[in-house]
């Protein structure tokens, strides 16, 4: 139910974006904006998913070791940094993926209606 409420809020936000960007409420403009917003949400969700699956943890820790001074390296060897994947929650990934797929699906349905 919460996801559905957010979905309707995103539709209203897309309508506001159409009016702010194009200064006109045409159906094709609304299709474009929902497609772009949905695409951005899916990209963010996929990036968070890849991050959650610990793909970037080794790279980030390696860069931290390279760019730290010797004194800080010595201090950091005793203090463990949290990995990048520890900052991402599965509920956040689910939110972005669900909302993005919903908006992309809505834009596809709108395209079918527009061209029929």
Average pLDDT over residues 101-106: 96
pLDDT (0 to 100) of residue 88: 84
Residues 17-55 have pLDDT tens digits of: 999 999 888 899 999 999 999 999 999 999 999 988 888
Do residues 100 and 40 make contact, with C-beta atoms less than 8 angstroms apart?
yes
Distance between CA atoms of residues 40 and 97, nearest Å:
10
Distance CA 26, CA 13 (A): 15
pLDDT of 28: 93
pLDDT (mean) for 61-70: 73
Q: What is the pTM of this model?
A: 0.79
Among candidates 56, 57, 55, 76, which has minimal Cα distance to 65? 76
Q: Identify the pLDDT of residue 69.
A: 66
């Amino acid at each position: 139910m919460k996801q559905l409420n957010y979905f309707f809020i995103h539709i209203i936000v897309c309508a506001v974006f159409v009016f702010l960007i194009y200064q006109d409420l045409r159906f094709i403009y609304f299709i474009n904006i929902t497609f772009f917003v949905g695409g951005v949400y899916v990209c963010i969700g996929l990036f968070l998913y890849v991050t959650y699956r610990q793909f970037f943890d080794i790279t980030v820790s390696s860069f931290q070791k390279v760019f730290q001074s010797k004194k800080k390296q010595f201090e950091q060897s005793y203090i463990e940094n949290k990995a990048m994947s520890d900052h991402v929650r599965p509920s956040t990934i689910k939110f972005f993926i669900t909302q993005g797929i919903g908006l992309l699906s809505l834009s596809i349905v709108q395209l079918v209606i527009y061209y029929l």
